[in-house]
Structure 1
Amino acid sequence: MSAARSVAAKHFQGALQRWPKDVLRPECQLQDVLAKRLAQGSIARVTAGATQEQADLKQANALQSLLEDRYKTKYRADPSIFAPKSKPTYYKDLVTELEEAPNRSFMGRMAKRLGGMIRLS
């Protein structure tokens, strides 16, 4: 393993340790998949005009930038986009639902499912 490749592997491992766990699908974690690919040495494929080391470093940098929310700070969105006129609380409701879903009981899941099937309007 070359020096640049080991640097990319260190960046990947550091980012994977900091990556948040997915509570909705605990059996399938991004960290596990990428760690397995890192162990196999197949994180990046050779692209036209780029070496394997350069491709690995680009992917490690992309993972780090996602962790640091670089794009959220670089490309600020207008706050009105998060409150659509048709349903202003849509995104707040979505976040609430995602936070509540992993802790919901079987009966709670069934009630939500039935509530989604039956609409009163």
Structure 2
Amino acid sequence: MATSTIPKAYTRLLTLWPKDALRPNLPFTRAIEHRASIYGVKPLVPPTPANTSSKTPAPTPSPTRSTPPNPTLETAQLNALFSLLENRYTNKYPLSKDVLRPASNPEHYERLMEEIERAPGKTWWQAKLDEWKMKIRWS
């Protein structure tokens, strides 16, 4: 991959990467943007006080590199990111149904996925109530 196509590939990757509903204040795209900044790729959503948390420290400026980045290594990094985005490993190595339904607790993963889907819409109070409910054993 030529050096001129690397920024385009990073920009495409950033636009295709799914949004993190569970941690909107700490998306993985920040790591990708940091890696791509060497090639002049700007963040898709510039950091503002509205979309940054006061708890997270401000990113430190990256040190300047004394040697230019290696396009071959960068292409391998981009290929790895695109393989994750396209679920290549899930398709290549599918899990059997027995893995997702263990004999000791067959509904565990179904309940976990339901909880993950409900989590972004919960209020703080609902999350605390659910946490307390999980600590009480109902017989």
Which residue identity does 2:9 align to in structure 1? H
Give the letter for the 1:33 counterpart: A
Runs (5+) with no aligned partner, structure 1: 43-50
Match of 2:34 in 1: 36
Equivalent residue in structure 1 for 2:18, among 8, 20, 29: 20
Alpha-carbon contact 1:5-1:57 (below 8 Å) kept: no
Aligned pair count reads 112
* TM value normalised by structure 2: 0.71
* Stretches of structure 2 lacking an aligned partner (at least 5 in a row): 40-61, 63-68
Q: Which has the higher helix share?
A: 1
Identity of aligned residues (%): 33
1:62 Cα deviation after fit: 0.7
Distance 1:8 1:40, change over 3 A: closer
Distance in 1 of aligned mates of 2:138 and 2:19: 36
- What RMSD over aligned residues (CA atoms) do the two structures have, in Å? 2.1
Once residues 77 and 113 of structure 1 are traced to their aligned partners in structure 2, the CA distance between those partners, rounded to angstroms, is 30
**TM-score, with length taken from structure 1:** 0.81
Note if 1:104 corresponds to 2:102: no
